[in-house]
Amino acid sequence: VVPTTLSALLSAEPAGAQSAAQPDEEAATRLDTLLAGETSIAEFSSIIDDPSLLTAPERSDLLQLIGAGWRDEPNAWQAALTAHAEATTTTLTSVAIQEPSTVQLVSPEAVLPFFVRNDLPFAANVVLVSTPDNLRLDVERTLTVRAEPGVNTRVEVPVRARVGSGEVTIELRLLSPTFEQVGPVQRAQVTVRAEWERIGIIGLGAIIVLLLGAGFIRTIRRRRRTRAAEGVDGPTIDQGTTEENTAREPEPDRPVDRRDE
């Protein structure tokens, strides 16, 4: 190293220089991955009231991971990159629709319950979009949901059976206020049996009519038996006593014919 002055440097003849370093394709690929993760977090962060609560920590982590100090510790850098990728995935999947169960719909109108999971420490504002795959079911297409932190928020989707019976698949997806998809798409299987309610009401009505008719018939028969029993057990007439009483009764006076005298 030879010290020199600034004036001597400015008056010196220019000298060419060429770098012998080779481009690090692996590091460039990892940087692209980090930048893509930051973009995903920025899009996802629109679901909370203050997006900087997610974007600021992500930016800080990215700046630390691209520091030159990791060049001498490749194994530790790889471990830090892996941990950061897992944390990014955990954040992006922290709000999602719980897997729905199969539903048996036996009434023309009903409310289907679904649950939105929120593992973030912040409340999330999302839109639940429900899309049936056929016209057997009319579904409330969009519902605004505020998912509270750390719990599963119940969302009730009104549905109405329209045409006959059969199988209907409802596609469920969450959107952010900026229309970015949040979490994976879920599908709910609904078996529509709307006419069963009508058949059940008719059957129940028929049973009630039969019970009332059977009770009415039993009442009439019971009254007839009571009347018949009263006729058999009433006062009897003694034939001998009747003849004796008849013999003792005085005969009525006969008119006297004066011509016989």
Query: What pLDDT score was predicted for residue 248?
Result: 53
How confident is residue 195, by pLDDT bands cut at 50, 70 and 90? low
d(CA 187, CA 130): 9
d(CA 158, CA 108): 11
Which pTM value belongs to this model?
0.65
- Give per-residue pLDDT as tens, 170-188: 999 999 999 999 999 999 9
Residue 249 has pLDDT above 80, yes or no: no
Query: What pLDDT score was predicted for residue 105?
Result: 83
d(CA 182, CA 119): 13
Greatest Cα pair distance, the chain, in angstroms, is: 201
* DSSP classification of residue 259: G
Q: Are 167 and 189 contacting, i.e. CB atoms less than 8 angstroms apart?
A: yes
- Give per-residue pLDDT as tens, 92-103: 999 999 999 988
120 CB neighbour count, 10 Å cutoff = 19
Query: Which CA distances in Å does 49 have to 125, 126, 220?
Result: 8, 11, 75
114 CB neighbour count, 10 Å cutoff = 23
d(CA 224, CA 216): 13
For residues 37 and 2, which has the higher predicted lDDT (pLDDT)? 37
Residue 261 has pLDDT above 50, yes or no: no
